[in-house]
Amino acid sequence: MLREKTAGALPGVFMLVVLLAGFVFPLWWLIAAARAASGWSALGASLTMVIDIILVMGFVIVNPNQAQVVTLFGNYVGSLRAPGLWWVNPFSVRRRVSLRVRNFESSKLKVNDHDGNPIEIAAVIVWRVVDSAEAMFEVDSYENFVHVQCEAALRNLATSYPYDAHVDGQWSLRAQTAEIADQLRTEVQARLDKAGVQVIESRISHLAYAPEIAGAMLRRQQASAIVAARQKLVEGAVGMVEMALDQLSRKNVVALDDERKAAMVSNMLVVLCSDQHTQPVVNTGTLYT
């Protein structure tokens, strides 16, 4: 596996001055040879200018957050990261690799979660190249490699957890968003290490049930919400009935036997737990007649 190393290069400004001098001297030599009608001198000056032209091809510009990967006759020589003008072997091949932070949003994947329910999921991945040699030579196209591997990791993660947790303490895609995002980042990073890519952040950007079961799941969530609300309502009503009976007993407002207490409890629970407004009924008799 290739690792990035620094390529040998000369400062571009220094080589620019040298080559300018190299152009001026052969040009003066060529003019002098033409005046003296000397063929050998003219040939030497022409060869010198050709060499200078070839040497000019060795200049390379490195922009900030950019690397130039240098290869010579099929061999990896090194990479240039320092911004500025540099000069390398003119016969070498230089390929540009961006080191800037990039991000992309995956397509909406339709997969089955851990419980077998079809869901739609997508994620945003923030990444950058940290090893230009691995990115250039270990994979065919590192950008396409990043996209494919991120979607594969997201698909694998979605099948490992349910959309909603039905057991206490169980992780779910909807509830543990931060933990799921961290695990997604870890899994994507493990897949992209060989390409010299660092995953900075990963977040789930879209999560929903598939359209064919969205209606059924919505009714299920509504039923769960109704059950939870009813449970809280009953707990509050029982507490209020208990408090009322306790205060009536402590203040000696009225003496109630077990049958009257049962009737009072029944009436209060109906009033407190009913979905609609209750209509009072005035009883002019007693419970025993």
**Can you tell me which residue has the tokens 């690799």?**
97
What is the rounded distance in angstroms from the CA atom of residue 210 to the CA atom of residue 91?
A: 56
DSSP secondary-structure letter at 26?
H
Query: And the tokens for 118?
Result: 């079809």
Strands 66-72 and 75-80: antiparallel
- Same domain? For 112 and 72 the reply is no
Q: Which of 103, 125, 142 is nearest to 2 (CA)?
A: 142
Query: And the tokens for 103?
Result: 């991000």
3-state secondary structure of 171: coil
- Same domain? For 112 and 182 the reply is yes
- Residue with more model confidence, 247 or 143: 143
- Same domain? For 200 and 229 the reply is no
DSSP secondary-structure letter at 6?
B
Residue-wise pLDDT tens digits, 223-238: 666 666 677 777 777 7
Mean of the per-residue pLDDT values for the chain? 80
pTM: 0.67
- Residue with more model confidence, 35 or 243: 243
Q: Let me know if residue 214 belongs to a domain.
A: no
Query: And the tokens for 273?
Result: 């737990």
Mean pLDDT of 108-121: 86
Q: How many domains does the chain have?
A: 3
Q: Which residues contact 163 (CB under 8 A, 6 or more apart)?
A: 113, 115, 117, 119, 172, 173, 174, 207, 209
Least confident of 13-27, 90-104, 126-140, 145-159: 13-27
Query: In this model, does residue 127 exceed pLDDT 80?
Result: yes
Residue-wise pLDDT tens digits, 169-181: 778 888 888 898 9
Listed residues 61, 96, 131: the one ending a domain: 96
- Same domain? For 107 and 191 the reply is yes
DSSP secondary-structure letter at 195?
G
Burial of 257 (0-12, 13-18, 19+ CB in 10 A): exposed
Give me the domain span that covers residue 90: 10-96
In this predicted structure, what is the pLDDT of residue 129?
Answer: 94
- Same domain? For 108 and 205 the reply is yes
Query: In this model, does residue 189 exceed pLDDT 90?
Result: yes
- Same domain? For 121 and 176 the reply is yes
Contact 69, 97 (CB under 8 A): yes
CATH code of the domain covering residue 114? 3.30.479.30
In this predicted structure, what is the pLDDT of residue 13?
Answer: 85
